A and B are shown apart, each in its own frame.
Chain A
């Protein structure tokens, strides 16, 4: 229970940061994306509470804007993975036989692939070729969510399948079948609700995984494109500056770790029940 509360508190903090970002930017009178060459790598001050980066942009405001990206990617990728995974896992458990075999072999095949190089490949492909928009930060978010969902459903599907097989064998499901309940209603009313607990755990783990994956792609230069801020791309420059500005590497990494830990604490708390 304490873990669930701690995790939710961290995520709430991030939501507040994300919502407050434009307000804080207006209050400080800075634009997170516009360089100010005269104020490069400024130390913390009243104008720039955490100082500025190598192009003179306010680090605090960029961190707050980064929270929007991380939360949007985390939430959207988790929802997409959970929905696809639930459908695939349920289908495999319900139909069994060759449908089950095909779905699970596809899942195994995806798991056997080296995830990161493939994510990098997909992120590097031109998204307009498959009908996704390219351009501003929100287009990048859509693109990354689509890529993450492509891999993210596997874990949810395996979990759903295992849980659904045991639920389908339970007495109340067999009783409902015997009473002549249709298969669609059976799944909706009697099977899916029983899967809520494992799905909630898988969903919060998916949030953590998606936030980490987005920051990794952005760190490699394939996620959110500069000048738009994301915690990952803020760290990409920081590595080149470890000798002159080691502090620049501190805040974005801390923010990523905090967000991922928050989502994982929620998963842990839900698992303990």
Chain B
């Protein structure tokens, strides 16, 4: 176990370093650096002003030197300023991250809960299997942006029960919740299918195991077999699915954020990359990639702890 961690953590760090370099070079190679944007905004800027500004911002240095200067800053905990928002990148990131964590945390908790329940239903009650399969197929095939639009048409336009998008001005809990219902429903429905399918498959596998037959032979009630014997074992493969979604917690949901006009990491990441806001884009990218890889590692470790057969 410790060996796994000791071996994987340096790999993650190395991947992050390489990733930051590749992303830095890619963003740096995009046309239109901050100074050329300033030139377009102000026609009075002459060539000598431009050269002075480039030197001032270090843009006359080669890309590699700029990257190492940036990396040194990061090691000291300085993530630099966001160009688009003219504030420290970490300060800009925080509200978007909080928005995404609330939205996706709620949606994924719902998706995992309902998905696992539906998967168990499909595995334990074969009559329901077809229904659960069909619903899972629909939820995977329907594009999130269409689902969002349909929910808006039904609940915001036709019935007028819920707001069509945005965030409330005042921070009352009930009001915040009202604005969350439709985006959370959109995301939860989109993520639910994977949990339902994986749970159904894993439960069906586990229920064929000899120790389930043994438990039945000893007269254990079916509910105890389902929840105490089958579910914990079936949950082991689900952990890797959960780990992949954990990355989504911090990377946000661009489509849902766009359709419902909510601030979040998906929108921030896209805006930062498109606006060649290097410091902000790199910070967000590294956060997302780091969290995803750490979550995968955590899931691997947890799986090995829960299932000694994997430890070998």
Contacts and interface: CB of A to CB of B under 8 A. Distances in A.
Contact of A256 (B18, B146, B158): B146
Contacts of B147: 253
A226 interface: no
Interface stretch (B82-90, B113-121, B253-261): B253-261
Contact of A261 (B19, B138, B157, B289): B138
Contact of A219 (B140, B145, B157, B248): B145
Interface size class of A (residues with CB under 8 A): 35 or more
Interface string A226-250: 0000000001001100110010010
B266 interface: yes
A216 B145 contact: yes
A157 interface: no
Contact of B153 (A215, A216, A246): A246
A121 B269 CA distance: 10
A117 B251 contact: yes
A109 B273 contact: no
From B15, B146, B254, B274, residue with most partner A Cβ within 10 Å: B146
B38 interface: no
Contacts of B31: 126, 129
A18 to B, nearest CB: 19
A140 B21 CA distance: 29
B247 A112 contact: yes
Given A108-B293, A242-B157, A243-B157, A256 B143 contact: yes
A117 B273 contact: yes
B149 A112 contact: no
B152 A109 contact: no
Interface size class of B (residues with CB under 8 A): 35 or more
B288 interface: yes
A114 interface: yes
A212 interface: yes
A109 B15 contact: yes
A239 B289 contact: no
Given A105-B15, A112-B15, A265 B137 contact: yes
B288 A114 contact: yes
Contact of A113 (B143, B255, B288): B288
A219 B259 CA distance: 10
A246 B143 contact: no
B285 interface: yes
A139 interface: no
A16 interface: no
B255 A238 contact: no
A125 interface: yes
Contact of A257 (B142, B164, B270): B142
B4 interface: no
B141 to A, nearest CB: 4
B157 A216 contact: no
A235 B149 contact: yes
A120 interface: yes
A112 B152 CA distance: 32
Contacts of B296: 108, 112
B141 A261 contact: yes
A260 B293 contact: no
B122 to A, nearest CB: 14
B247 A125 contact: no
Given A113-B285, A242-B153, A243-B157, A108 B15 contact: yes
Nearest to B251: A114
A215 B285 CA distance: 24
Contacts of B288: 112-114
Given A235-B146, A249-B146, A265-B137, A112 B289 contact: yes
Contacts of A116: 251, 254-255, 266
B150 interface: yes
B292 interface: yes
5 contacts: A111-B244, A114-B248, A114-B252, A253-B146, A258-B141
* 10 pairs of A and B residues whose beta carbons are closest in the complex: A253-B146, A114-B251, A261-B141, A260-B141, A112-B292, A117-B269, A112-B289, A257-B141, A121-B273, A246-B153
Interface of A: 105, 108-109, 111-114, 116-117, 120-121, 124-126, 129, 208, 212, 215-216, 219-220, 235, 238-239, 242-243, 246, 249, 252-253, 256-258, 260-261, 264-265, 268
Interface of B: 11, 15, 18-19, 30-31, 137-138, 140-143, 145-147, 149-150, 152-153, 157-158, 164, 244, 247-248, 251-252, 254-255, 258-259, 266, 269-270, 273-274, 285, 288-289, 292-293, 296
Given A109-B18, A116-B255, A117-B273, 9 more contacts: A112-B293, A113-B19, A114-B248, A116-B251, A117-B266, A121-B270, A220-B255, A242-B164, A256-B141
